[in-house]
Amino acid sequence: MKFTAVTIFPEYFAPLNLSLIGKAIEREALSFETIDLREFATGNHRSVDDSPYGGGAGMVMSPEPWGAAIDNVLAKNEGEIDLIFPTPAGKVFNQRIAESLSNSNHLVFACGRYEGIDARVVEFYRTNPRIRLHEISIGDYVINGGEGATLVMIEAIARLIPGVIGNPESLLEESHNEIGELEYPVYTKPATWRGLPVPEVLLSGNHGAIENWRKEAARKRKEGQDRRE
């Protein structure tokens, strides 16, 4: 699987070289590249934004550098791509979307800034037969650009690719359960910390009892929270 991020801030993606995803890139289980949008801007100032038609606050990303950059991605690669536009107006990202996108050969993230990208860019590429186009939000809150959203989505998607996370057993377990259903509280040594003991059943070695306790604890945890739908 190949990941491409088109961005005016390539440095934003440095953390992908860390931890499990960094290791997966090293052993070529996946690849990641950034494309600097500014290299596709023309004119003395290499400007990528302009004032909005119709007025209003802020700036809008111009369509020309985006068209040139995406055309370049299509020219340099063969086959179909999934082209993702992170946007606060998109469909809210979830585990099902992550699973679906993890089956792609090439994910391309178009990271906007300012007030977003001129709407004609999405309109233009939506009908390209080599492109499956997705407008996706990572949640109902506002951030400053597509880069942070892209990091979140890459992390959720990359860990689903075989060979990326060390323990495929936990992936299998996840795939058989609703999110939250297995989110029981976890403990490690010491058995008592600041007067707080680890639940006795977890020290019992009784795997049936432990399984039941965890299931019940996850249920109670979920019940006490309103942050899941």
Contacts to ligand JFB by CB under 6 A: 86-88, 112-116, 137-139, 141-146, 149
Closest to ligand JFB by CB, 148 vs 180, is 148
CB 146 within 8 A of CB 7: yes
Closest to ligand JFB by CB, 24 vs 61, is 61
Tell me the C-alpha distance between 21 and 18, whole Å. Answer: 6
Smallest gap, in angstroms, from Cβ of residue 85 to ligand JFB?
8
Tell me the C-alpha distance between 54 and 17, whole Å. Answer: 42
Smallest gap, in angstroms, from Cβ of residue 112 to ligand JFB?
3
End-to-end alpha carbon distance in the chain:
31
Strand 196-197 and strand 192-193: pairing? Answer: antiparallel
Helix (H), strand (E) at residue 35? strand 31-36
Smallest gap, in angstroms, from Cβ of residue 215 to ligand JFB?
32
Collapsing DSSP to helix, strand or coil, 222 comes out as helix
Closest to ligand JFB by CB, 21 vs 116, is 116
Closest to ligand JFB by CB, 53 vs 141, is 141
Smallest gap, in angstroms, from Cβ of residue 61 to ligand JFB?
8
Collapsing DSSP to helix, strand or coil, 152 comes out as helix
Smallest gap, in angstroms, from Cβ of residue 139 to ligand JFB?
5
Closest to ligand JFB by CB, 33 vs 115, is 115
For residue 182, what is the DSSP state?
T
Read off the amino acid at residue 83. Answer: L
